[in-house]
Amino acid sequence: MAFQPMRVDWVASPPPGAYPHRRLAAPPRPYAGPPSYPVPPRWGFPLLAWRWPTSVAGEAAEDSVAQVQRLARTAFRVLGLAALTTLWAAGSEIWRYVLLLQSRYGALSPTAVDVSDAMVRSASTLALAAVVGAVVFGYLWLRRARLAAASAAGYGPSRSDAEVLVGLLVPGLNLVMAGSIAAELEHAALRLPATARPSPSRLVRWWWGLWAAAGLWAAVTVAWSFRTSVQALADGVLLHAVSDLLATAVIVLTMVLVRRITSLLLPVEASTLRRLRVVELRDAPAPELRTVRSHASPR
């Protein structure tokens, strides 16, 4: 005969005196009419008619992208002005160098020399002002683009705004940091994962190389300007012309980079997508047919 265990139910109850005795509930008061207030109450809904909500999910991201687009247009115009002025400065320096070559065979016209000097001074001043404006508006675009890219990618930027500003303005350091900042921005704009290492595109690599070459050439030009010999002054004019041409190339490539990053941040238009349709099914299992009821059945 097999032994079967008995089922035992354990019931836990608090010991006497564990909880204080509850007081009996007071009897309900009789109805005394609607409530009255000595002053108009301040709680409740505002005195406004119902309206559609003005803020929906995702609107902040759309506003951020729209701001990036507006700043990109402004920066594009200022960069175009800077490119024209630096190209003008390069042409003025080349004309001065041509006059120096002509001075070896005879005296130059005072009018040609005065016009050349005026063009060099005015072009250098306007180019400097335009480049400063391009740096300001470019940084404003970059700051907004980094925020929009971080919002689209789902993770925050790896560098703060202060680190980016220092990395772009400190001479020598900006030759290295500028390319890294551009590569990280492109990486986030492409919605690539944060764990992957940024791999700059060909455009970013060309921009980085031109940026570094223009910075190094500008440093050589500034160092060369301390020489006072006649040949050094003539070579300095040619160095200034090449420096202005490199600056023009950097600015033009920056315009292309700004347009590319901005286009990556914009939402994809539905009209540009190709719609797919099913043409044929091969080796697909036959669908299960619904059972036909011979008579009505209660549900």
* Pick from 147, 12, 128, 5: nearest CA to 68: 147
Residue 65's pLDDT band (boundaries 50, 70, 90)? confident
- Per the CB < 8 A criterion, the answer to whether 78 and 137 are in contact is yes
- Is residue 96 predicted with pLDDT exceeding 80? yes
Mean pLDDT of 234-260: 93
Work out the burial of residue 68: count CB atoms within 10 Å of its CB; fewer than 13 is exposed, 13-18 middle, 19 or more buried: buried
pLDDT in tens, 121-178: 999 999 999 999 999 999 999 999 998 888 888 888 888 888 999 988 898 899 989 9
Cα(119)–Cα(85) distance, integer angstroms: 11
Cα–Cα distances in angstroms (integers) from residue 37 to residues 31, 34, 40, 192, 205, in the given order: 17, 10, 7, 61, 73
- Per the CB < 8 A criterion, the answer to whether 238 and 225 are in contact is no
- Per the CB < 8 A criterion, the answer to whether 154 and 89 are in contact is no
**pLDDT: is 21 or 118 the higher one?**
118
Q: Is the pTM of this model over 0.85?
A: no
